[in-house]
Amino acid sequence: MTSMRGDIVNRVKRLPKPSLAAEALQPVFEAVSNSLHAVEDAFGDQFQEKGKITVTIAHPRSPDDIEITVDDNGVGLEPARFEAFCTTDTDYKISRGGKGVGRLLWLDAFDSVKVVSIYRDQGTLFRRSFTFRLEAQDQITDEQIEPVTGAASTGTAITFKRLRGTAYRSKFPSQTATIVKHFGSHFFADFIMGRSPAVIVDIDSNATMFPEEIQNLRVEDRGIAAVESQEFGTLSLASFVCDKAASANFDGLHQMHLVANGRTVTTRKIDGLIGIGRFGSDGTNVYHGCVTGDFLDERVNQERTQFNFDESIIEEIVRECSDHVRTNAIHEEITQFDNQRLGTMQEFMQEYPSFAFEEAQDLLAKTPKNAVKPEQFAQALIPIRIRRDKERNDTIQRIVSQLGGNDDVSENFAEAIRKAADEIRAEEQRQLTEYVLRRKTVLDVMEVLTRRIREREDGSQDFHLEETLHQFICPMRLRGDDPSKVERSDHDLWIIDERLTFTKYFASDVPFTQIVDSEASTKRPDLLIYDRLYGLGAEGEDPLKRVMLVEFKHPGRKDYDERYSPMSQISEYITKLQKGEILDFRGGRVRVADDCIFYCYVVADIVGKLEIHTNGWRTTSNGRGRIQELSGKFRGIIEIIEWADLLGDARLRNHAFVSAAGLRYDKHPN
């Protein structure tokens, strides 16, 4: 019997134990790697055509019954190879990345390891067989060597049985698809680059053919490029365009495989580094790159499962190679993609001018390469805009301090002031443009909505249109779990009067039982959106010296109740305000001053009975609206504004700003 040299038991005991399925398969991968080398040595340049490796796995679901055979037609265990096999940490295959510990993983993972090999020695074929076991002595037993009579091919078959150890028994994958996936991932570089003989993985009589399984996913070979790095030396980058299915078992779309000694050690998704999504004429292509080099070969661990350097080094290698991919391997696709991003960025800047503090191309360079949506642009640019604003404000503060102090003023001080003033002016213009653009959009949308609602002649109601209009003008937010309850919100009541811009909504008169103390009335409007009185006041005033009351009537409405009067409804509400019977949304009473002035607006089309009710009122300057002064105990006015005049007047008030911003109102058919 023959003994291996060294303390094998302790050596195996110190080997890292698997924590992932891929790591639990590592002993099998090591056997396949040995077969790849043996096949290459047997056939030389023709190893891809003539070599064959078969991996047969039976009963993978049962750790006690599992049986795995790795069979190849390589050179076999010649005397020199067998001598290396019997030496731990041998350097026999160091030039190929062999660490001399692969077979120790067999002992760590399996209870039974048997080897049968046919090899040629001085022109004669021999058959060598033995059992490989984990013992302090005599690890190789039952060894037999005998000449082979008759025709036979060289090669080696290794049979593993029964998983040992808690880690291997719990982590070894039992699903066929999982095992096949990890085979494809581990030898991806060899398979995709066509550096592999036929490898058949047969699991319970279900066979998968490699490298065809991987190469069938290859759409185009984009060649091999040298990536020169000051820190990492020369790296070789092989680039492939693949079908999207090639990434099905990876995280993300595009992958960079770091390869050491012919094995894929780790794979990183590079979606964020190259930016583009799936590409190609049908949008189904992805990128896969394989990186090799001395830097990687010299720094991989003995199991070839990890590199002996920090994650930051991996990230930097992947980043440098990804930059090369963008400018070379998929340059045309990236150029088209970036042009589309640039167009989206320009549209984003037009819609949100406050972000247009640099040229579109420069802003695009400040966003992640995979940012394609306005929300993604904003997320990346907001911190930059904040820093710019802070730097500008700090500069202005220094200028003010210098002017106010006794320090000498430098010759270029005037230039600094001019530059700061120009930056402020440009920022004001951007913010004004964005502010005006929003107002313009509100007016354009409201014009279309009111026209659509008014033109319905069959009495039907498109509630989604009503609700959309309501969202533009209503200064409240209804709670979905209780429509009777509301919360304060921003509003667009500047459409009625610019004085309403900076007011805050404090209460509504619907439903009365929610906001009027001890009120027994259960009156509700016919429509939730209209016939509701909104109360607003200047924030910070207590008691309120000015109150704005706004009521909206359905566009085109004619059928008012005979007893309806804008004056009576508003008077009732003002009385309750003065008596302290109106509660705000926080539950506190709204307090108004004794000399409070009430500005009351009713937005309605003055037709039908409303026209009859208000014929005695004073008309507005255009002859269409109505005005009535409050009298008696009340101070203020009531103004009825037609929907068309509401929008027309708002457009006129904002016309100068719209023109200054280089915008114009949309024209809609009458």
Neighbours of 655 (CB within 10 A): 12
Q: Which of 294, 329, 364 is the last residue of a domain?
A: 329
Q: Give the least confident one: 163-167, 376-380, 396-400.
A: 396-400
Measured CA to CA in angstroms, residue 537 lies from 30, 508, 509, 515, 598 at distances of 78, 12, 15, 16, 10
41: alpha, beta or left? (left if phi > 0; alpha if psi -120 to 50) = alpha
If you compute the radius of gyration of the chain from its CA atoms, what whole number of angstroms results?
A: 40
507 in any annotated domain: yes
Q: Is the pLDDT of residue 372 over 50?
A: yes
Range of the domain at 252: 218-329
Q: Is the pLDDT of residue 515 over 50?
A: no
- Are 618 and 468 contacting, i.e. CB atoms less than 8 angstroms apart? no
**Same structural domain, 571 and 652:** yes
**Same structural domain, 522 and 404:** no
Q: Give the least confident one: 126-130, 200-204, 447-451, 616-620.
A: 447-451
What pLDDT is stored for residue 261 in this prediction?
83
**Count of domains in the chain?**
4
Q: Give the least confident one: 38-47, 437-446, 519-528.
A: 519-528
Greater model confidence, 7 or 298? 298
In what side-by-side order are the strands of the sheet with 233-243? 218-229, 233-243, 285-292, 255-260, 263-269
Q: Which of 375, 409, 443 is the last residue of a domain?
A: 409
What pLDDT is stored for residue 626 in this prediction?
94
Which uninterrupted H or E stretch holds 633?
none
- Residues 229-254 have pLDDT tens digits of 999 999 999 999 999 989 887 889 99
Q: Which of 153, 183, 216 is the last residue of a domain?
A: 216
What pLDDT is stored for residue 46 in this prediction?
94
CA neighbor of 109 nearest in space, from 194, 180, 16: 16
The backbone torsions φ and ψ at residue 155, rounded to the nearest 5 degrees and listed phi first, read 155, 175
232 in any annotated domain: yes
**Same structural domain, 481 and 534:** yes
Helix (H, G, I), strand (E, B) or coil at 111: strand
343 in any annotated domain: yes
**Same structural domain, 31 and 179:** yes
Mean per-residue pLDDT for 413-423? 72
498 in any annotated domain: yes
Contacts of 266 (CB under 8 A, 6+ apart): 257, 258, 306, 307, 314
370 in any annotated domain: yes
Mean per-residue pLDDT for 570-588? 79
- Are 567 and 503 contacting, i.e. CB atoms less than 8 angstroms apart? no
Contacts of 133 (CB under 8 A, 6+ apart): 107, 112, 113, 139, 141
433 in any annotated domain: no
What pLDDT is stored for residue 132 in this prediction?
95
Neighbours of 320 (CB within 10 A): 20
CA atoms within 13 A on the CB side of 565: 9
**Same structural domain, 378 and 288:** no
Q: Is the pLDDT of residue 161 over 80?
A: yes
Q: Mean pLDDT score of the chain, rounded to an integer?
A: 82
Query: 3-state SS of 3-27?
Result: CCECCHHHHHHCCCCCCCHHHHCHH
**Same structural domain, 204 and 235:** no
Helix (H, G, I), strand (E, B) or coil at 498: helix
- Are 276 and 324 contacting, i.e. CB atoms less than 8 angstroms apart? no
- Are 670 and 632 contacting, i.e. CB atoms less than 8 angstroms apart? no
What pLDDT is stored for residue 68 in this prediction?
98
Which uninterrupted H or E stretch holds 227?
strand 218-229
In what side-by-side order are the strands of the sheet with 124-132? 140-147, 124-132, 110-121, 155-163, 67-72, 52-58, 198-203, 206-210
Structure tokens given for 13 = 């005991």
Q: How far is residue 132's CA from residue 483's CA, in Å, rounded to a whole number?
A: 78
What pLDDT is stored for residue 250 in this prediction?
85
CA neighbor of 80 nearest in space, from 90, 95, 69, 71: 90
Q: How far is residue 56's CA from residue 63's CA, in Å, rounded to a whole number?
A: 15
What pLDDT is stored for residue 473 in this prediction?
62
Helix (H, G, I), strand (E, B) or coil at 137: coil
**Same structural domain, 304 and 352:** no
Q: How far is residue 623's CA from residue 402's CA, in Å, rounded to a whole number?
A: 58
**Same structural domain, 503 and 648:** yes
**Same structural domain, 6 and 138:** yes
203 in any annotated domain: yes
Q: DSSP letter for 528, please.
A: S
Which uninterrupted H or E stretch holds 424?
helix 413-454
**Same structural domain, 171 and 136:** yes
- Are 670 and 648 contacting, i.e. CB atoms less than 8 angstroms apart? no
Q: Crossing angle of helices 374-404/413-454, nearest 10°? A: 140
88 in any annotated domain: yes
Helix (H) and strand (E) counts in the chain: 22, 22
Q: How far is residue 173's CA from residue 171's CA, in Å, rounded to a whole number?
A: 6
CA neighbor of 189 nearest in space, from 107, 113, 97, 111: 97
Measured CA to CA in angstroms, residue 511 lies from 469, 516, 535, 573, 601 at distances of 21, 9, 14, 13, 20
Q: How far is residue 366's CA from residue 319's CA, in Å, rounded to a whole number?
A: 16
Greater model confidence, 379 or 427? 379
Share of the chain above pLDDT 90, in %: 43
Residue corresponding to tokens 């009365």 = 512
- Are 241 and 219 contacting, i.e. CB atoms less than 8 angstroms apart? yes
Share of the chain above pLDDT 70, in %: 79
Mean per-residue pLDDT for 1-14? 74
**Same structural domain, 209 and 227:** no
**Same structural domain, 31 and 159:** yes
Mean per-residue pLDDT for 532-538? 57
Q: DSSP letter for 200, please.
A: E
Greater model confidence, 607 or 392? 607
Neighbours of 666 (CB within 10 A): 12
Structure tokens given for 25 = 């398969």
Burial 9-24 (b: 16+ CB within 10 A, else e): eebbeebeebeebbbb
Greater model confidence, 453 or 532? 453
Contacts of 667 (CB under 8 A, 6+ apart): none
Measured CA to CA in angstroms, residue 194 lies from 75, 240, 293 at distances of 21, 12, 18
pLDDT-based confidence at residue 593 (cuts at 50, 70, 90) = confident
Tell me how long the chain is. Answer: 670
